[in-house]
C-alpha cells in the first residue's frame, strides 16, 4: 500500500475580478459578494490545512462568476450569465491566463508525487450555504467522492467516522461526488491506486462564525493526521 501525500486546492477561493473585466461586473457587485461569487471561509480553511501540513496550496485567484475552475470547459456553468457573452478572445484569455495554468499546475504536482511513489489524496476545499431553496441543509461537513473508486470510498467513510462525533458529516452531500468537478476530471487521468479526490464541503454557518470556524479547522486537521498516520 502506497503512503498518502496530501494536496490542498480551493477553486472558489476569492471573488476578485481582474481590472480588464471589471466593467462587466460594475452592476453586479452585490452578486459577487454572495456565495455565488465566493465560497465563504473555504480559503481560510485551505490555508490553515496547508500551513498545518507544511504543504503548498493551489487556490484560484479570480471569481467563479468569471470562469469556473471547478467545471470542465464544455460545461454549461464554465462561464456564468455575467461572462457568457464575453468575446471569444476574452474567453480564451481567461482560459489561457487563469483556468489552464491552475489546472495544469495541480496536475503536475499530482504526477510528481505519484512518480515519487505516493498515492495522492487531493482535498478540494469548498463551503455551502446553510439554506437552499428555503430548506435547511442538515450537515456541517460534506465529503464528496466517487463511490466507484474503492480508495476514495474507504477514505471518505473512515474520515466521516472520525468527524461525526464532533460535527455531523454526510457523504456525497449536499452534492453528488461524481458530478462534473476538478476532481472528476483528474480521476480520468489517474487510477484509483494513485489518486484520491475528495471535495470537502463545510457549512457556511460554521465558516461565518470565527470560533466555530477555528474549531472546524482544528477538527479537520487533527482527523486528517489520524488518517495519514
The pLDDT of residue 229 is: 61
Contact by Cβ (8 Å): 101, 61: no
pTM of this structure:
0.97
Residues 6 or more apart whose CB falls under 8 angstroms from that of 194 comprise 2, 114, 119, 120
* Distance of alpha carbon 13 from alpha carbon 62, whole angstroms: 8
Which one has a higher pLDDT value, 87 or 74? 87
Domain ranges of the chain: 4-228
Tens of pLDDT along 11-62?
Answer: 999 999 999 999 999 988 999 999 999 999 999 999 999 999 999 999 999 9
Fold entry, domain 4-228: Aminopeptidase (3.40.630)
Q: Which three cell numbers stand for residue 87?
A: 468575446
The stretch 130-157 carries a mean pLDDT of 95
pLDDT tens for each residue of 171-217: 999 999 999 999 999 999 999 999 999 999 999 999 889 999 999 99
Q: Is the pLDDT of residue 220 over 70?
A: yes
pLDDT at 133: 80
% the chain with pLDDT above 90: 93
Q: Look at residue 219 in the predicted model and tell me its pLDDT.
A: 98
What is the distance between the alpha carbons of residues 93 and 214, in angstroms, rounded to a whole number? 38
pLDDT in the model for residue 75: 95
Q: pLDDT tens across 108-124, in order?
A: 999 999 999 999 999 99
The predicted model gives 81-93 an average pLDDT of 96
Average pLDDT over residues 126-145: 93
Amino acid at each position: 500500500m502506497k503512503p498518502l501525500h496530501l494536496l490542498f486546492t480551493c477553486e472558489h477561493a476569492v471573488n476578485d475580478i481582474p481590472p480588464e473585466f471589471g466593467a462587466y461586473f460594475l452592476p453586479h457587485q452585490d452578486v459577487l459578494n454572495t456565495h455565488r461569487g465566493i465560497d465563504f471561509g473555504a480559503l481560510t480553511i485551505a490555508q490553515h490545512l496547508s500551513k498545518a501540513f507544511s504543504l503548498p496550496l493551489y487556490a484560484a485567484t479570480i471569481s467563479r462568476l468569471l470562469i469556473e475552475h471547478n467545471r470542465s470547459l464544455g460545461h454549461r456553468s464554465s462561464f456564468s450569465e455575467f461572462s457568457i457573452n464575453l468575446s471569444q478572445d476574452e474567453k480564451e484569455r481567461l482560459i489561457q491566463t487563469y483556468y489552464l495554468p491552475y489546472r495544469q499546475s495541480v496536475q503536475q504536482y499530482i504526477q510528481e508525487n505519484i512518480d515519487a511513489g505516493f498515492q495522492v489524496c487531493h482535498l478540494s476545499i469548498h463551503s455551502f450555504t446553510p439554506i437552499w431553496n428555503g430548506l435547511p441543509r442538515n450537515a456541517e461537513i460534506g465529503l464528496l467522492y466517487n463511490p466507484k473508486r474503492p480508495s476514495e470510498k474507504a477514505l471518505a467513510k473512515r474520515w466521516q467516522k472520525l468527524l461525526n462525533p464532533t460535527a455531523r458529516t454526510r457523504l456525497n452531500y449536499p452534492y453528488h461526488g461524481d458530478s462534473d468537478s476538478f476532481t472528476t476530471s483528474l480521476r480520468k487521468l489517474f487510477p484509483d491506486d494513485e489518486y484520491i479526490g475528495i471535495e470537502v464541503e463545510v457549512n457556511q454557518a460554521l465558516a461565518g462564525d470565527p470560533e466555530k470556524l477555528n474549531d472546524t479547522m482544528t477538527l479537520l486537521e487533527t482527523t486528517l493526521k489520524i488518517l495519514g498516520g
